A and B are shown apart, each in its own frame.
Chain A
């Protein structure tokens, strides 16, 4: 045991930089850039990569395989009603942000989820990745705005940030598809409001609830 400790002690002494802080009881066995505190904000730790991958894949599976729109289109008579259940697209982004509190993981998870959607044969092809990154960007903007207010850790704050993230995709799609020129403007406004509401409840509030429950378990 003493020889092992002395070996580790020798390793640290031979390192170019001391990397552990005074409160850290662990013995550093490496000196990778990921462990350098100055660079931690530019790199993802292994945990962040793993969680982003898991949540991104789960989000992609849910997005691709579960036809939430059927809940709406069987009874709602107008175009745009399915936006009322569109919030699940960014639920994974809300969860990953809540678990890791690192905004860059939003984009990583969005990329993974978009790619999984693509692999499941989304009709928009590889554009799914860009669409997810687009929504992730607006959720990211929402988080930044909310952090400037006292609502940054409240259900309302997260709901509003997710609502902003989700509402962003309506004008994009309606412009890209040309729907905006074919359909009455009132239906467009309703679709925007539905997507905002869906983002608030299905992504923001539900996402925060999930995060709080996960944190209560003490797993992370």
Chain B
């Protein structure tokens, strides 16, 4: 016969496990449904572009590394976080604008976009006009400081990340207002860490 204390511990553990497993299964099913869409892409890693577009487009890692798009190499990137800590990196990658331009015929009336990651993270919606005005400041990067980004399975933050320069968003009134609405006072200054997405695998167009 179990003691009351032991019984209560078992019940609490069971309830906690049930909640955790249920939530995990829910998210796993969602994740699998999304990953199934990537099966059409033949590359080892792909960026899915979807949303307000006639058909979904997949851009493979090979295209980004040495394919159809102009690569920017060793661009100085000042990463600013919410605690106003700044770190300087040299990044290499391709312009988001070039990717969108290549899809121009099938783009709908797109005004905003956001970056999304494999782990469920996504950014705020970014006005497309900023990408058009500052094409060199919105990048899909594959290397930082000359080193290829390792994949999540390898313990890294890649193979692709997004990078948005403060030059493009720092003074924009819409972005400033967005940060003031979404973040608490004291942390609501514009910072580009919010748009630095690890494990980038999708761009949603709206």
Contact = CB atoms under 8 A, between A and B. Distances in A.
Given A79-B119, A156-B9, A190-B27, A125 B20 contact: no
Interface in A68-97: 70, 73-75, 77-79, 81
A30 interface: no
A188 to B, nearest CB: 10
A176 to B, nearest CB: 5
Contacts of B184: 175-176
A182 B123 contact: yes
A182 B126 CA distance: 13
A39 interface: no
A218 interface: no
Nearest to A151: B5
Contacts of A187: 27, 120
B120 A73 contact: no
A127 interface: yes
Contacts of B71: none
Interface residues of A, number: 28
A184 interface: yes
B152 A74 contact: yes
Interface residues of B, number: 33
B112 interface: no
Given A78-B31, A182-B124, A176 B154 contact: no
Contacts of B121: 79, 179, 182-183
Interface stretch (B49-57, B77-85, B102-110): B77-85
* Best-surrounded residue of A81, A175, A177 (most CB of chain B within 10 A): A177
Contacts of A181: 182
A74 B9 contact: no
A186 B26 contact: yes
Nearest to A69: B155
A179 B119 CA distance: 13
A61 B121 CA distance: 29
Given A74-B152, A74-B154, A75-B153, A125 B27 contact: no
B16 A193 contact: yes
Interface in B161-206: 182-184, 187, 194
A176 B85 contact: no
Given A124-B85, A190-B27, 12 more contacts: A74-B152, A78-B31, A78-B120, A123-B81, A176-B184, A178-B182, A178-B194, A182-B123, A186-B26, A187-B27, A190-B23, A193-B16
9 contacts: A74-B152, A78-B31, A78-B120, A176-B82, A177-B82, A178-B124, A182-B121, A186-B23, A187-B27
Interface of B: 9, 16, 19-20, 23-24, 26-28, 31, 81-85, 87, 117-124, 152-155, 182-184, 187, 194
Interface of A: 70, 73-75, 77-79, 81, 123-125, 127, 156, 175-179, 181-184, 186-187, 189-190, 193, 197
Give me the 10 closest cross-chain CB pairs, A-B, nearest first. Answer: A124-B83, A70-B155, A79-B119, A178-B182, A186-B23, A79-B120, A125-B83, A190-B23, A125-B85, A178-B183
